[in-house]
A and B are shown apart, each in its own frame.
Chain A
């Protein structure tokens, strides 16, 4: 039996000045799962993440619904049932308050507890993320923390109220491999400790392979495919996903040219007719240039592609025959 969704997004549309950047997106987040949202810059990943947190910019026009356990006022749930794991730990913390005070304030903003109790929870949260001598470090300011400790502190902040959903937007982009794995493992431990689901926005497919249960691939503001992460990466059903995978150096023989996706993603407001990926797609047929494909269910997976049945395996072969760039 499929678990009931925790968070459900239905026909989400986000527009600026009448130009849609997210165009009818529907998906669920299940309890305790890690759902990766993948795609290139401009695909609408970050806007989707902000919509989940009720943090869209004021000039955004939205339609559709985002429901968290039946509740639609997401901004009111922020910090309580849904929390952001910020990308930049330094700017996420106030420099003029101690880390312990900031965590305690986060506790008291959602729960009526004494200062003493809030303080105790703050210290416990810091201890849980592996900050040594947490009671003492709670009295320190962010600048007295090392970079790694600060990353842990913002994870403690995001999980201190035991939310049901954590949203992390590119939490590790600026970090090297070693730090990236450290942050993701602390985040994973804390997610499990508080029993939260994690929506992980990333353009790093290797992170998806190692840390996500399911992957949602977005292109030009729409769902391209959605399914168990291992299946999406191991056997993509959409040519776009195959193209992303083919461009990873790890799949290319050393010294050979890397396969690339031809062209560039369309700008919002300058979408081609039909499937937004068709002009770049090696499998595009007539229908693709006329009709935008809707997501179709295939077992555990959803895919929005007219040519899904024609995808070869391994799908990265689609992009292998890259013509040599004109010199």
Chain B
């Protein structure tokens, strides 16, 4: 059974069809890239897969379970398993929360926080993404773009996800920093068996990083 099975997905904004009958599957441990120009429907596909926006038609099966017909309440326990990582590392973290609190928040929300084990888990997550746990004391603006993106990944991992939807996660980074974040993502995928839906407009990055590539154009898959 694939981790993610998307069938005939349709997303409309008024008269505009942003995603036009898109279908694909993604296995655990696999990276599937969605590549295409601005406005081709990549990010709309991502939002629909995460059911952050209900698709207008089609199915999103996550580990065999159809998501689009579930109520918010039914989705709630599933949401931690599907985590987004966005392009702007600073915009993804609240400027008023220390890194430590940003990473702890999912643990607390999901009832997996205890005074004893919680802080240790946060330190472990920061270490796992290559940040010294002392960075937990800092605020996002005190981190570089690459460090901030690592913190965002640590926060996503706190939910113990099985799918990461990575929307241009390295597009805002310098090349040498980008390489380090891509290496980290590859390690996490291989060690944790995560599935990645990887949205990226940079073909060289896609070719290097993805197992399979879907080319999107005007809402449709134009090549795979």
Residues of A within 8 A of B (CB): 40-41, 173, 175-179, 203-206, 243-244, 247-250, 252, 254-255, 257-261, 264, 325, 327
Contact = CB atoms under 8 A, between A and B. Distances in A.
A177 B37 contact: yes
B180 A249 contact: no
A206 B204 contact: yes
Contacts of B182: 249, 258
B175 A205 contact: yes
B37 A178 contact: yes
Given A179-B37, A203-B174, A248 B183 contact: no
Given A40-B176, A247-B176, A327-B191, 4 more contacts: A177-B203, A204-B175, A257-B186, A258-B182
Contact of B187 (A175, A178, A325): A325
B179 A325 contact: no
Contact of A250 (B146, B187, B191, B204): B204
Nearest to B147: A264
Contacts of A41: 144-145, 174
B184 interface: yes
Contacts of A255: 208
Given A175-B38, A325-B184, A40 B177 contact: yes
Nearest to B202: A177
Nearest to A42: B144
B91 to A, nearest CB: 13
Nearest to A177: B201
Interface in B174-224: 174-180, 182-184, 186-187, 191, 201-205, 207-209
Contact of A260 (B144, B179, B186): B179
Contacts, number: 70
A158 B211 CA distance: 43
A58 B221 CA distance: 51
Contact of B208 (A203, A206, A252, A261): A252
Given A177-B201, A260-B176, A249 B184 contact: no
B130 interface: yes
A258 B208 contact: yes
Contact of B183 (A177, A203, A244, A258): A258
A244 B175 contact: yes
Among A252, A258, A259, A325, max chain B CB count under 10 A is at A258
A258 B182 CA distance: 8
